[in-house]
Structure 1
Amino acid sequence: MDSKSQNILDNAETLFYQHGFHAVGIKKIVSQAKVSIMTLYNHFGSKENLIIQILDQREIRYMEYLKNALNDKRQQSKYETACTIALANTNWLKKNSQGCLFLRAKEEYDQVNPDIINRVDLHKRNMLSFYKQLGFSEQEAIRLAIQIEGAAALVETTEIETVEKELVETLNLLFNK
């Protein structure tokens, strides 16, 4: 990806994350990125295509973040792996305190843009596949996803340290039977 495209993606992602997708118009994005409207459209074609590429980029970053957290650990039990993922997720949320960008996209584009909804759904399926690749059964992967997703939602209204502590305790109950 060239530097202009990356600049637009980075600026648009920041704006969307801070203000929401519908609240940010193309003019605000091009102003923030210091490019012309034609440059944005030449690189992305539409605001919706830009959003999909932002979600693609975000998933790559998030997955690399989780994999790096797991790479720092040697062979672990399922409980330890689940805790590593959970703690990496809460650390991600500490740096990205506006909640899940994917779920925000789904909320704003439900019944409006099936391509964006499909991209969000793909991300959630990719997360389940990732958990299964780590050795969790289908049922365990769903249980882990419920805990991770619930924590991401709860940090919007509850102190993150409390959520983190209770998340680890819940994983203990699920995986250290």
Structure 2
Amino acid sequence: MAKSKKKEALLHASERLFYEHGFHGVGLKQIIHEADTALMTLYNHFSSKEALVEEVLRRREERYWSYLDSHVEQEGEHPFVTVVKAHGDWLATESYKGDMFLRAIEDYAGTDNDIEHIARSHKEKLLSYLRQLAKKVDEENHEDAAHYLTLLLEGTTSMATLIGAEQATAYARAIVEKMNTVPDEQRG
């Protein structure tokens, strides 16, 4: 089944606007104007603004995992270094103003929809992904390694808004390279 061009236009415009102005800083009129669609078209595809936000988050997450996986599979470096580099590249191109998932958790905490759940699930999936990666490289304490890497990536995301994605990624890469060279018994 072919994707609806109007639906794609709505999703693309919505993601950009939500990222630039926040979820509550964008109204449906602005979205349909930017997407060059009618309000009825929006409601033909999405039952509410919340349903639109949910789909935007799901698609963004799908793109993130696809991006991360493709880099981890291609690179010859240690997978932890590759993850940091790929995450940093994502920040530079897709997430230079902060984390859309954290923003969703903040903006929709305690509301009666799936937005907060989707965003929290993304964070849990990151921890799980890194846990599996640590197991794959035979990291002795894969649980700790996954937590270290998750904190490192989340910190890199935060710092990208202050010092830029390139510099934040350089610091994160230096940390992960040191982490991989220090014997387990010497780690804190």
TM-score (norm 2): 0.86
Alignment of 1:12-23 (within 5 A): 12-23=14-25
For the pair 1:73 / 2:75, whether they are aligned, the reply is yes
For the pair 1:85 / 2:87, whether they are aligned, the reply is no
Q: Which runs of 5+ in 1 are unaligned?
A: none
Instruction: Spell out structure 1 runs of 4+ moving beyond 6 A.
Output: none
* Residue aligning to 1:121: 120
Select between 147-156 and 90-99 the one with higher mean Cα deviation: 90-99
Q: Quick one: which amino acid aligns to residue 32 of structure 1?
A: E
Match of 2:57 among 55, 59, 64: 55
Question: CA shift at 1:20, angstroms?
Answer: 0.8
Cα offsets for 1:65-91 (capped at 9, x unmatched): 1111112124x5xxx211111111111
Equivalent-residue separation in structure 2 for 1:92 and 1:174 (angstroms)? 22
Select between 36-45 and 112-121 the one with higher mean Cα deviation: 112-121
Question: CA shift at 1:5, angstroms?
Answer: 1.5
Q: Which runs of 5+ in 2 are unaligned?
A: 136-141, 183-188
User: Which protein, 1 or 2, shows the higher relative CO under an 8 Å CA cutoff with sep ≥ 6?
Assistant: 1
* Residue aligning to 2:163: 158
Larger Rg, first or second structure (1 or 2): 2
Equivalent-residue separation in structure 2 for 1:65 and 1:5 (angstroms)? 23
Cα offsets for 1:93-115 (capped at 9, x unmatched): 11121121111111222233452
Question: CA shift at 1:34, angstroms?
Answer: 1.2
Question: CA shift at 1:3, angstroms?
Answer: 2.1
Match of 1:170 among 171, 175, 185: 175
Equivalent-residue separation in structure 2 for 1:108 and 1:10 (angstroms)? 20
CA RMSD after TM alignment: 1.5
Sequence identity percentage: 34
TM-score (norm 1): 0.91
For the pair 1:141 / 2:146, whether they are aligned, the reply is yes
